[in-house]
């Protein structure tokens, strides 16, 4: 069926234009939801079920959901970009509104009664003056869902909602809390366990792995396969510990040539600016402004950071003849199927990709690569293969969130208004996802023989959400602005999408600079922001967090060198199209930055699952706090030197704040907005701004570790 895209139709409906692709009625009367957006720990599963249950007037318990299964589900691309509710669930709402209307029309014919007299409750159709009842299952033969989804049927009035807007118990938690809830728990009859022996560095070349070595490893207990294809080396064994032992033994015997070709790691990520890059203009404005009175030029940076999921990447693969089935906790089953088709040079119809819940995912981590690894080994072994990465694999080989370097040249007028804003970004790519970037990007394709050609780097354009330039355009009213993006095109460390992408560093820089300018203007930081905001909803979020935190009773613009308690603010609208988020942080400065209290105000429009929203924001705040205070990947001339939790510490339970309060501004009359990544940048800036407020020390290079804090104090 051809895809027609009227302006009012949700893009996910354009991609999946038939009603039957989304919803069907099973023979047992259950409503089958064929979801494309998958559960990554963010609670989207229950949100999708709430939308369907509400619009079809059925109980949650009567919905059976299959998500991310390429033989069953709709193709909604990646579950990413905080789009699962804002776009994905809203597509479901439009589809279900049309399906509801079709069934109401069928019920009208059955009862020989005008459609406006048909009542629908809990999946049962009736009329006020009849004892007859009929269900979705009874009407299903009379309703053809193999018709175009128009996206034009008006959904239910929000005033009639009973399920949407309520906090519903998540159906996936029972399994996850008590066992067998994750991909790591799946077993396939006859499967082998596998490990990959990676090169010691990105550019390492294999010098020697002789036949005797292969024979020795093959003779180890339980080993069934030693596969060497170029630099792709893997072992399969009957038991997992046997695969680990074989991989460790093989690793000791392989000889590699390791060139010294990585750029030097430097504080402030200054090395980025010396690398080859491609410049582009992100935004420019040359409006009339008042004369410049005071100016500052400042630099901010963030390091490479890891996904650092507690559970390592895992996948299963099985070949049945020429048909490949892969189980993965990746974010996009359909893009992965396209990449697998390229990897093995087979038709899409010969591949099934099935999503299974993993241990949390924040973008393009090792989940996709693990799936390709498993498929390669399963093909060679002729048996199903379960492939799990090691912790060292995660830190050394998964794509990381790119290091970024930012320069701001800004100034204010005598009246304290910003009249100059020059913003320059240097960053690696944030898009290397399978099936999205051109060419093969998976490690299996790059390491095998023959190896795929590594193509030039690209990044998301700003109209698609942006990558390194995401949230580089402030929501503030700024005349005479110039924003440029320098995409690094020279190879260094592997990078791709990590939660919030460039927004984390860009908002950190913008909001830190806003505080520095407020200091020049001798104005309260929140008032200074309000002076530059015409967006009514943005203003409301800032005013809300000020009330929550008691800001105006606690904050002063004067530096208090004898104090150790500080308060800081950070604000942004994610991607300038998603949720509005303002964060106030209270810290205490000892030999380190101690999180004491955090207040958050969010405007996410209509809220379908309040508890889910709060969980997402709380998780985003704590993860961003961990990035801001602790996390950084390290390397030398040849390879990444971060291997585990000892050299990549993350925020501990005893380091979380005593209070983390999330409140949302009620805008139930507005469309839902993506909330999963909105808190990252504001949290980082709020912490840095609180430090400056507490002891008058401005730290601009992340992370704000105790060692860097001590150095900054010594230099002050």
pLDDT > 90 fraction of the chain, expressed in percent and rounded:
87
For the cut 90, the answer to whether the pLDDT of residue 5 exceeds it is no
Q: What is residue 305's DSSP assignment?
A: B
Give the domain 189-258+307-397 fold: Aldehyde Oxidoreductase; domain 4 (3.30.365)
Distance set, CA 472 to CA 32, 227, 401, 501 (Å)? 41, 46, 16, 11
**Any idea which architecture 404-430+466-715 has in CATH?**
2-Layer Sandwich (3.30)
pLDDT attached to residue 662 = 98
Q: What's the pLDDT score for residue 156?
A: 94
Q: How confident is the model at residue 441 (pLDDT cuts 50, 70, 90)?
A: confident
What string of H, E and C letters represents the secondary structure of 358-388?
CCCCCECCCHHHHHHHHHHHHHHHCCCEEEE
Q: What's the chain's Rg over C-alpha atoms?
A: 27
Per-residue H/E/C for 463-507:
HHCCCCCCCCCCCCCCCCEEEEEEEECCCCCCECCECCCCHHHHH
pLDDT at 475 over 60: yes
3-state secondary structure of 279: strand
**Contact in structure between 681 and 511 (CB atoms under 8 Å):** yes
Closest listed residue to residue 32, CA positions, set 136, 155, 135: 136
User: How would residue 213 be classed by pLDDT, with cut points 50, 70 and 90?
Assistant: very high
What's the order of all strands across the beta sheet hosting 565-573?
565-573, 580-589, 593-603, 659-664
Asked whether the predicted pLDDT for residue 274 surpasses 90, the reply is: yes
How many of the other CB atoms lie within 10 Å of CB of 293?
Answer: 15
Q: How far apart are alpha carbons 12 and 21 in whole angstroms?
A: 11
Is the predicted pLDDT of residue 7 greater than 70, yes or no?
Answer: no
Q: What average pLDDT does range 254-265 have in this prediction?
A: 95
d(CA 563, CA 126): 69
Answer positive or negative: Cα dihedral of 524, 302, 458, 480. Answer: positive
Q: Which of 269-273, 294-298, 440-444 has the lowest mean pLDDT?
A: 440-444
* Residues in a beta bridge with 277: 488
Alpha helices in 317-455 (DSSP H): 333-344, 367-381, 391-397, 443-447
The predicted structure's pLDDT at residue 562: 59
Number of Cβ within 10 Å of residue 448's Cβ equals: 21
pTM confidence score = 0.95
One of 3.60.20.10, 2.40.10.10, 3.40.630.10, 3.30.365.10 is the CATH number of 11-164, namely: 3.30.365.10
Q: What is the pLDDT of residues 448-470, one digit of tens each?
A: 999 998 888 889 888 888 999 99
How far is the C-alpha of 148 from the C-alpha of 20, rounded, in Å? 9
Give 635's DSSP letter.
B
What value does the mean pLDDT take over residues 249-269? 94
Q: How far is CA 538 from the centre of its chain?
A: 23
Instruction: Look at 620 and 173; give whichever has higher pLDDT.
Output: 620
Interstrand relation of 277-285 and 294-302 (parallel, antiparallel or unpaired): unpaired
Query: By C-alpha distance, which of 434, 433, 432 is closest to 337?
Result: 434
**What is the DSSP secondary structure assignment for residue 69, as one 8-state letter?**
B
Residues in the chain: 716
Distances in Å between the Cα of 645 and the Cα atoms of 437, 535, 633 are 31, 43, 11
d(CA 341, CA 78): 17
Spatial separation of the C-alpha atoms in residues 698 and 152, rounded to whole Å: 53
The answer to whether the CB of 683 falls within 8 A of the CB of 621 is yes
Cα angle for residues 22, 606, 175 (degrees, 5° grid): 55
pLDDT for position 491: 87
Return the pLDDT at 129.
82
* Number of other CB atoms surrounding residue 340 within 10 Å: 27
Q: Tell me what the mean pLDDT of segment 534-554 comes to.
A: 95
- pLDDT at residue 554, rounded to an integer: 81
Counting DSSP H helices and E strands in the chain, the numbers are 19, 24
Q: Where are the domains of the chain?
A: 11-164, 189-258+307-397, 404-430+466-715
Q: Rounded to an integer, what distance in angstroms lies between the CA atom of residue 83 and that of residue 75?
A: 14
Residue 480, pLDDT > 50, answer yes
At residue 600's C-alpha, the angle toward residues 597 and 601, to 5°, is 155
Dihedral sign from CA coordinates of 170, 12, 605, 362? positive
Report d(CA 634, CA 260) in Å as an integer.
15
Going by C-alpha positions, the residue among 39, 101, 548, 498 that lies closest to residue 303 is 498
pLDDT at position 3 is 44
Q: What is the mean pLDDT of residues 51-79?
A: 96
- Residues 555-584 have pLDDT tens digits of 765 455 557 999 999 999 999 999 999 999
On the question of pLDDT at 634 being above 90, the answer is yes
What is the rounded average pLDDT of the residues 45-71? 97
Q: How confident is the model at residue 314, as a pLDDT?
A: 97
CB 584 within 8 A of CB 545: yes
Triad 385, 387, 389: Cα angle to 5°: 175
Looking at the predicted structure, is the pLDDT value of residue 329 above 90?
yes
C-alpha 697 chain-centroid distance: 32
pLDDT in tens, 674-690: 999 999 999 999 999 99
Of 377, 379, 401, which is closest to residue 389 (Cα–Cα)?
377
Smallest CA-to-CA distance from 583 within 452, 685, 693 is with: 685
Mean of the pLDDT values across residues 120-134?
93
Instruction: Tell me which DSSP letter residue 191 carries.
Output: P
CA distances from 309 to 129, 275, 313, 422, 542 (A): 58, 30, 8, 36, 32
d(CA 489, CA 279): 10
Give the tens place of pLDDT for each residue, 293-326.
Answer: 999 999 999 999 999 999 999 999 999 999 999 9
Distance in angstroms (rounded) separating the CA atoms of residues 617 and 604? 11
Fill in the DSSP letter of residue 449.
Answer: S
Q: How confident is the model at residue 70, as a pLDDT?
A: 98
- Distance, CA of 156 to CA of 640 (rounded, Å): 54
Distance in angstroms (rounded) separating the CA atoms of residues 183 and 356: 5
Rounded to the nearest integer, the mean pLDDT of the chain is 94
Give the CA diameter of the chain.
86
């Amino acid at each position: 069926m051809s895809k027609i895209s009227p302006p009012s139709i949700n893009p996910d409906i354009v991609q999946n234009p038939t009603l039957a692709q989304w919803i069907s009625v099973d023979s047992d009367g259950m409503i089958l939801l064929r979801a494309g957006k998958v559960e990554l720990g963010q609670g989207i599963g229950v949100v999708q079920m709430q939308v369907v249950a509400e619009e079809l007037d059925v109980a949650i318990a009567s919905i059976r959901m299959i998500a991310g299964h390429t033989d069953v589900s709709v193709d909604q691309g990646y579950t990413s970009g905080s789009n699962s509710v804002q776009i994905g669930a809203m597509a479901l709402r439009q589809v279900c509104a049309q399906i509801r209307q079709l069934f109401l029309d069928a019920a009208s014919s059955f009862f020989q009664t005008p459609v406006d007299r048909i009542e629908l409750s809990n999946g049962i159709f009736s009329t006020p003056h009849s004892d007859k009842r009929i269900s979705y299952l009874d009407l299903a033969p009379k309703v053809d869902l193999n018709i175009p989804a128009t996206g034009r049927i008006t959904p239910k009035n929000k005033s009639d909602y009973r399920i949407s807007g309520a906090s519903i118990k998540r159906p996936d938690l029972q399994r996850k809390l008590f066992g067998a809830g994750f991909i790591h728990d799946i077993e396939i009859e006859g499967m082998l366990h596998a490990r990959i022996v990676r090169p010691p560095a990105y550019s390492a070349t294999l010098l020697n792995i002789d036949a005797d070595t292969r024979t020795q490893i093959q003779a180890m207990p339980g080993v069934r396969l030693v596969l060497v294809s170029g630099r792709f080396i893997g072992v399969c064994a009957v038991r997992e510990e046997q695969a680990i032992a074989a991989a460790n033994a093989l690793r000791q015997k392989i000889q590699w040539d390791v060139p010294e070709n990585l750029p030097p790691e430097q504080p402030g990520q200054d090395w980025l600016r010396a690398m080859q890059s491609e410049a582009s203009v992100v935004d420019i404005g040359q409006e009339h402004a008042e004369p410049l009175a005071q100016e500052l030029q400042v630099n901010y940076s963030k390091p490479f950071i890891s996904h650092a999921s507690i559970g390592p990447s895992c996948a299963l693969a099985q070949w049945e003849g020429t048909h490949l089935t892969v189980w993965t906790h990746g974010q996009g089953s359909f893009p992965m199927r396209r990449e697998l088709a390229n990897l093995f040079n087979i038709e899409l119809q010969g591949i099934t990709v099935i999503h299974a819940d993993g241990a949390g995912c924040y973008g393009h981590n090792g989940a996709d690569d693990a799936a390709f690894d498993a498929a390669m080994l399963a093909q060679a072994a002729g048996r199903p293969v379960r492939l799990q990465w090691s912790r060292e694999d995660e830190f050394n080989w998964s794509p990381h969130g790119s290091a970024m370097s930012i320069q701001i040249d800004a100034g204010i007028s005598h009246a304290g208004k910003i009249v100059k804003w020059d913003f320059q970004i240097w960053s690696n790519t944030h898009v290397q996802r399978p099936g999205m970037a051109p060419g093969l990007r998976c490690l299996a394709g790059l390491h095998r023989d023959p190896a795929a050609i590594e193509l030039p780097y690209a990044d998301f354009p700003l109209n698609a959400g942006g990558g390194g330039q995401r949230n580089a355009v402030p929501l503030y009213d700024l005349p005479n602005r110039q924003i440029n993006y320098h995409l690094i095109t020279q190879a260094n460390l592997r990078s791709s999408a990590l939660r919030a992408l460039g927004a984390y560093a860009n908002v950190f820089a913008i909001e830190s600079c806003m505080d520095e300018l407020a200091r020049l203007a001798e104005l309260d930081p929140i008032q200074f922001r309000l002076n530059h905001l015409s967006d009514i909803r943005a203003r409301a979020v800032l005013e809300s967090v000020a009330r929550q935190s008691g800001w105006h009773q606690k904050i002063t613009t004067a530096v208090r060198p004898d104090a150790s308690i500080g308060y800081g603010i950070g604000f942004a609208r994610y991607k300038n199209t998603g949720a509005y988020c303002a964060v106030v942080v209270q810290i205490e400065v000892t030999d380190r930055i101690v999180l004491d209290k955090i207040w958050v105000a969010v405007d996410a429009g209509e809220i379908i699952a309040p508890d889910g929203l709060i969980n997402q924001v709380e998780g985003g705040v704590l993860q961003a706090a961990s990035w801001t205070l602790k996390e950084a990947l390290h390397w030398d001339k040849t390879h990444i030197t971060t291997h585990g939790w000892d050299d990549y510490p993350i925020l501990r339970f005893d380091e979380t704040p005593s209070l983390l309060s999330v409140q949302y501004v009620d805008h139930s009359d507005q469309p839902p907005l993506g909330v999963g990544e909105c808190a990252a940048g504001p949290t980082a800036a709020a912490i840095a701004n609180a430090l400056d407020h507490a002891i008058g020390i401005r730290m601009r290079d992340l992370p704000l570790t105790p060692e860097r804090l001590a150095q900054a104090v010594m230099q002050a």
